[in-house]
Amino acid sequence: MKNTMAIFLLLFLSGLNTSWAQSGKMDRIFQPEDKHIAEDKLNLFSLKSSLPISELITQIGLSFLGTPYVAATLENGLEEKLVINLRELDCTTFVENCLALARTVKLEKTDFESFSAELEKIRYRDGIRNQYPSRLHYFSEWIHNNQKKGFVSEWENQNGKKEVRTINFMSTHPESYPVLKGHPEVIPILAEQEKGLTQMGFQYFSKDDLPNLYKHLQPGDIVGLTSSVEGLDVNHTGIIIRKNNEFYLMHASQSGAKVMVSEGPIGDFLKPQSKNTGIIIARPVF
């Protein structure tokens, strides 16, 4: 009887240990294919780990060309599990995954866990994931916070414009965000964060000053197209590449439905009639 009880207890404890191990990974969402894509790219680019990170992120970005554009892949509820989706990208997740892969390569790691850790550090405020409000939803804060972490350098235009505008798009449009619509108690938290962003402001190169912008751009720069939409900071993001001695935008395009290089140079996004007011630049550093 004692032996039976001992065996039962051992099995019970083993079961507990298994459940704990599983729960430790239950805070992530990914498919086996995502793991394969990440590890394939890490192994491929590990041979180029000596490259400057700006060149590395450019080459990694090019390896995603043709990947389908899918919006809102990170939305999974208030709990905010870490979503790792390399099969489908939007403009922000494209940039985040390229930077995370490049940093993992520079760290001379080729495993999925290391990549996941880098992605989490990049995506969340101060690298700490703690429910939905901890994600860096606004790209101006994404740049500012990742500069604080030492992952990018925000390129400041001494002659540029300092934009101090009211940032409140999310809190004033909660119906557009499933978590805010389902959890209205989160809206005041977002609103308080938006107040801080409004006070911080951001510096950008105006579309009226393109020659000055071109003097500062480099291939591998992460850029955000600043917005004229009330309450919003950035409309779109991507990575700068050089082609035919001009700068183009490599991005996950909603209109093109895939990751692609823009048909025209970056200046085409800054025409007078566009809703983009200029560009903010974040240069990857390592």
Rounded to two decimals, the pTM is 0.89
Tens-digit pLDDT string for the chain (286 aa): 444 444 444 444 334 332 222 234 579 999 999 999 999 999 999 999 999 999 999 999 999 999 999 999 999 999 999 999 999 999 999 999 999 999 999 999 999 999 999 999 999 999 999 999 999 999 999 999 999 999 999 876 555 567 778 999 999 999 999 999 999 999 999 999 999 999 998 888 888 888 888 888 999 999 999 999 999 999 999 999 999 999 999 999 999 999 999 999 999 999 988 999 999 999 999 9
Torsion on CA atoms 81, 166, 279, 146, rounded to nearest 10: -40
Amino acid 61: pLDDT: 99
Amino acid 141: pLDDT: 97
Per CATH, is 30-284 categorized as 1.10.3670.10? yes
Task: Spell out the residues 6+ positions from residue 204 whose beta carbon is closer than 8 angstroms to its own.
Answer: 157, 160, 161, 163, 226, 277, 278, 279, 280
Q: What is the residue extent of each domain of the chain?
A: 30-284
Amino acid 160: pLDDT: 58
| CA pair distance 41, 39, nearest whole angstrom | 5
φ/ψ (deg, to 5) at 227: -110, 145
Exposure string of 53-83, with b = 16+ CB inside 10 Å and e = fewer, is bbebbbbbbebbeebebbeebbeeeeebebb
Return the residue matching tokens 């197209």.
Answer: 225
Amino acid 8: pLDDT: 41
Amino acid 211: pLDDT: 84
Query: How many Cβ atoms are within 10 Å of 122's Cβ, its own excluded?
Result: 21
Amino acid 130: pLDDT: 96
